[in-house]
Amino acid sequence: MTPVIHLNGESRESHTGKREAVYTALREVGDLMRQCAPNMRDYYVKPDGGHASFNADCEEHYRRLGVLESLREVLVQEIELMES
């Protein structure tokens, strides 16, 4: 998303500032999500020793973190395009 910056629209600073705020919030969400990483101590009581469930939950956890990282990268690209 690269809006056209012109006199009758929002300023460049407004557009980039909003994206910077979202970027910061996504980084904070990522920090909180990392604290929710699966821990094997919460799985070992399952019949198979919890390995399958633990591995599946780890994959999902890291997939979610990847989505956040992808969103942050897109925001950086948008900011860079608006600043050039």
The model's pLDDT over 6-20, given as tens digits with 9 standing for 90+, comes to 889 999 999 999 999
> What are the distances in angstroms from CA 8 to CA 31, 48, 80?
38, 63, 21
CB 80 within 8 A of CB 12: no
Return the CA Rg of the chain.
19
Provide the pLDDT for residue 49.
81
What are the φ/ψ torsions at residue 40 (nearest 5 degrees)?
-55, -25
Q: Per the confidence metrics, is the pTM higher than 0.75?
A: yes
